[in-house]
Amino acid sequence: MKGRRSFLKKITLAGAAALTLPQMLVAENKSSEFDEGDDQLSKIFLFQGDSITDGGRSFNQDWNHVFGQGYAYLITSHLGYTYPKRDYKFFNRGISGNKVSDLAARWQADTLDIKPDLLSILIGVNDVFGVVVRGETFTADDFGNTYDALLTQTLQALPNIQLVLCEPFILPVGMVQKNPDAWNTELQKRQPIVKQLAEKYNAVYVPLQDAFTKATKKTPADHWIWDGVHPMPAGHELIAREWIKAVDKRFRIL
């Protein structure tokens, strides 16, 4: 707990200094960058993360499967349908089982080399799985520091990039239900870190835990997430809608 508080305090204090004046000016004008009313607008969207983003995607150019079957596919479908004349390009680089340290290991090839205009990241639940199920010692502080370093590296390489950070989430079914206290304890150490990093880097923050929790008031949890971690089709639709809502507030592109 002390380490997490230390990390949160550190990135909060660093937040004001994280953006140079040019970056701050870019941040102030971000909402207009996608809102140009130009049907020829060209942008690259990249979705990064673990199996929730992966969605069973193919690793080739098979257009039936390359975006997976999850929220990234739904968002891609929505934007492609809404703006058919715009030169929007979409990439899904989620990989099942990935933790934030795995993202770091492949960041150059799978993120920076793609040169996205908008980068969306959903990561963290496998870091919790590693601690709760496998007994790994990669702490919340380690998670935050690694994530922070990735974002710093990204802005250094791509100073005009737009960032979207999604909150990791769980529901008390499947494997989570077997040890809910441990899952909640570890996840709740990491969720505020993602929010603090979004504030530090002026990223769009997509809150998901509360949306999933509220959804269980409509119907049982396993309608939304089948094993406590991986969304059902309705859960992926929930993520896509929350993503669109949050991103649209900043960029008005959707």
Interval 128-173: pLDDT, tens: 999 999 999 999 999 999 999 999 999 999 999 999 999 999 999 9
Asked if residue 141 belongs to a domain, the reply is yes
Interval 109-130: pLDDT, tens: 999 999 999 999 999 999 999 9
Average pLDDT rounded to a whole number, residues 178-207: 97
Asked if residue 201 belongs to a domain, the reply is yes
Domain that holds residue 86: 39-251
Interval 2-28: pLDDT, tens: 455 555 555 544 444 444 333 333 333
Asked if residue 142 belongs to a domain, the reply is yes
Map tokens 């922070």 to a residue: 148
Asked if residue 160 belongs to a domain, the reply is yes
Asked if residue 16 belongs to a domain, the reply is no
Q: How far apart are CA 146 and CA 168, in angstroms?
A: 16
Least confident of 37-41, 56-60, 185-189: 37-41
Domain of 52, CATH number, reads 3.40.50.1110
Asked if residue 29 belongs to a domain, the reply is no
- Contact in structure between 203 and 155 (CB atoms under 8 Å): no
pLDDT at 31 over 90: no
Asked if residue 163 belongs to a domain, the reply is yes
Angle separating helix axes 125-132 and 180-200, nearest 10 degrees: 150
Count how many domains the chain has. 1
Asked if residue 14 belongs to a domain, the reply is no
Per-residue pLDDT, 116: 97
